Structure 1
Amino acid sequence: MTKQRATLIGLMAIILWSTMVGLIRGVSEGLGPVGGAAMIYTLSGLLLLVTVGFPDIRRFPRRYLVAGSVLFVCYEICLALSLGYATTRHQAIEAGMVNYLWPGLTILFAILFNGQRTNGWIIPGLLLCIIGVGWVLGGDNGFSIDDIISNVVSSPLSYILAFCGAIIWAAYCTVTRKYAEGNNGITLFILLTAVTLWLKYVLSEQPPMLFSWPVTLRLGLVALALGFGYAAWNVGILHGNVTILATASYFTPVLSSALAALLLNASLSWAFWQGACMVCAGSLLSWYATRQR
């Protein structure tokens, strides 16, 4: 596979990912946060078994197999449940924005653990990402500490899971790039996520799954987006131009929020879009700080 083709495949993942916030939330409203997520990852895993196949894990470096699987499963659970446990659809979109701290955090982890060179622009870049998320959480008033606290307290589990997910996914990207050695464990990781969620569903009290045509349609679409999206992203980061992929991924918050608002019929304030643009700009500034002359 050529580097250019792998990069294009990675870019497709960004488009598919941008639909996931709205679709996951829609599925969780009918099937419950845990049950809906379990169904999503089960269907995605079956899809990957047919299209990608099951990997030969005997060839996997042990560090990638262990660390990659644990980080991936933890991230997917954090993402899905952060959207499902949000009190309102608007808060689900906000939780999705918190999750998009991961591009800036990925750069930070590359600096700390992979020896990525940088300059002083990295500090204002990361700060702008954080301020942008605060601007989103502040509601119509923008960056207001009181409003941010009030909003987070109203749905703390959702926002905490989203923030933890951002950290975990940045770590996963770092581990994959450093230890994978060209291997792709996405099918295994998705199936492990499904098994973990079903265990949680069986061992804890959960609401019944209420299937309807809209919920079933969203379930099918998000399974396709998730399965093909992560498969494409792994191809991109393993064989493509990571710089181009990272740059493009920084615009995902705006695209994802727009699609989620459309899918969930949610109205987003001007302050929300200001914060989303700050997150994008901060991530781009962080990337610029790591460019080599």
Structure 2
Amino acid sequence: MSFITENKYTFCGVVAILLWSSVAALIRDLSELFSPIAGAAMMYSISAIFLMCVMGVPKVKDFPMRYLLIGGALFVTYEICLALSLGMATDRHQAMEMSIINYLWPALTILLSVLLSPKKVNLLVYPSILIAFAGVAWCIAGDQGISLDILLHNIADNPITYLMAFSAAFIWAFYCVITKRISNGKNAIVLFFAATAITLWIKFFFSNEPSIHFTLPSSLTLIIAGISIGTSYALWNQAVIGGNIILLGTLSYFTPVFSTLFASVYLSLTLSGSFWQGVALVTLGSLICFIVTREKPDTNTKQTSNI
């Protein structure tokens, strides 16, 4: 892959990261306007339709079956875990905790990338991962200070949502790493979004959630959310296929900060100093990961591989 081509894919990832900053707040808003499952199902349906209009209707036979099965399963599972963890949080503040837990994935992506690389691993990767996890613990514990009892007590308040949020972070990191290896340069994001929407609708029809009622403001929010999230994932899927995944994983450390800023304004949240400190630690952990894993220019070769 040429240097220019890789930079093009990497740029797609940067734009996706900026759009991604609105995801947590929009999903939470939709869950309140409709319900957790219905809001997510409608959002992914609009995203899938939008992507079909922009990218065309894909043909299953055009994609490697291994990519469709493995990549699709990971994508659908991640999206459901993320959307429902945000939507089923007890309040908006806890939804922000779910968002920060999800943003462990950049550091985890780098960790998986270096572990799968034949190159020597810098041991500083591991403490940087711990810093990111410490940041999440700081956000969950709040002003009470970090202790195992406090963490367990807060998590016990809504254990399913915390489990889904942590699962989402690991699943997406694995998806980012494995997609580049099994996609053969193909992009099945439209199929993945459609599969996510269908799965959520099936879950909705078997749930006890109330019927759906539309208003003009809720409909506008739904359309904006669907198009924004669809665009971000389309760009990111291109990025992980041909971009510098370690660099993008690290650039995404900006996302927790931007996402928290956006959500605090959009959802009218007042976040404590300890919460912002936790966000900073998650960001710092990802940044250190990048610093200790970035490759030095090789004067003997014109192109190197990051994974």
TM-score by length of 1: 0.95
What's 1:94 paired with?
Answer: 97
What's 1:165 paired with?
Answer: 168
Distance 1:208 1:44, change over 3 A: same
CA distance in 2, matches of 1:268, 1:244: 29
CA distance in 2, matches of 1:235, 1:33: 28
Deviation of 1:103 (Å): 0.9
Q: Which shifted more, 80-89 or 236-245?
A: 236-245
Q: CA deviation digits over 1:31-53, x for unaligned, max 9?
A: 11111110000000000000012
Letter in 2 for 1:222: A
Q: Which shifted more, 242-251 or 269-278?
A: 242-251
| 8 A Cα contact 1:78 1:165, kept in partner | yes
Give the share of equivalent positions with the same residue, in percent: 44
Q: How many residues are treated as equivalent by the alignment?
A: 293
Secondary structure, aligned partner of 1:286: helix
- What is the aligned-residue RMSD (CA, Å)? 1.6
Is it true that 1:143 corresponds to 2:146 in the alignment?
yes
CA distance in 1, matches of 2:116, 2:172: 15
What's 1:72 paired with?
Answer: 75
* Structure 2: segments with no counterpart, 5+ residues: 297-307
Distance 1:8 1:190, change over 3 A: same
Letter in 2 for 1:103: P
Distance 1:253 1:263, change over 3 A: same
What's 1:247 paired with?
Answer: 250
TM-score by length of 2: 0.91
Letter in 2 for 1:64: Y
Is it true that 1:44 corresponds to 2:47 in the alignment?
yes
Q: Which shifted more, 188-197 or 211-220?
A: 211-220
| 8 A Cα contact 1:26 1:215, kept in partner | no
| 8 A Cα contact 1:32 1:208, kept in partner | no
What's 1:230 paired with?
Answer: 233
CA distance in 1, matches of 2:8, 2:86: 32
Deviation of 1:110 (Å): 1.7
What's 1:190 paired with?
Answer: 193
Deviation of 1:277 (Å): 0.7
| 8 A Cα contact 2:110 2:246, kept in partner | no
Alignment of 1:112-123 (within 5 A): 112-115=115-118, 117-123=120-126
Q: Which shifted more, 279-288 or 269-278?
A: 279-288
* Structure 1: segments with no counterpart, 5+ residues: none
Is it true that 1:263 corresponds to 2:257 in the alignment?
no
What's 2:179 paired with?
Answer: 176
| 8 A Cα contact 2:47 2:229, kept in partner | yes
Q: Which shifted more, 150-159 or 236-245?
A: 236-245
| 8 A Cα contact 1:25 1:92, kept in partner | yes
Q: CA deviation digits over 1:46-85, x for unaligned, max 9?
A: 0000001233332322221110000000000000000010
Q: 272, 285, 288: which one pairs with 2:288?
A: 285
Quick check: which has more Rg, 1 or 2? 2
Deviation of 1:116 (Å): 5.5
CA distance in 2, matches of 1:116, 1:64: 26
Letter in 2 for 1:230: Y
CA distance in 2, matches of 1:214, 1:249: 31
Is it true that 1:59 corresponds to 2:62 in the alignment?
yes
Q: CA deviation digits over 1:243-284, x for unaligned, max 9?
A: 432221112111111111111111111101101010011111
CA distance in 1, matches of 2:114, 2:245: 15
| 8 A Cα contact 1:135 1:144, kept in partner | no
Secondary structure, aligned partner of 1:166: helix
Letter in 2 for 1:79: L
Letter in 2 for 1:37: A
Q: 78, 81, 84: which one pairs with 2:84?
A: 81
Letter in 2 for 1:190: F
Letter in 2 for 1:134: A
Distance 1:244 1:286, change over 3 A: closer
| 8 A Cα contact 1:136 1:275, kept in partner | yes
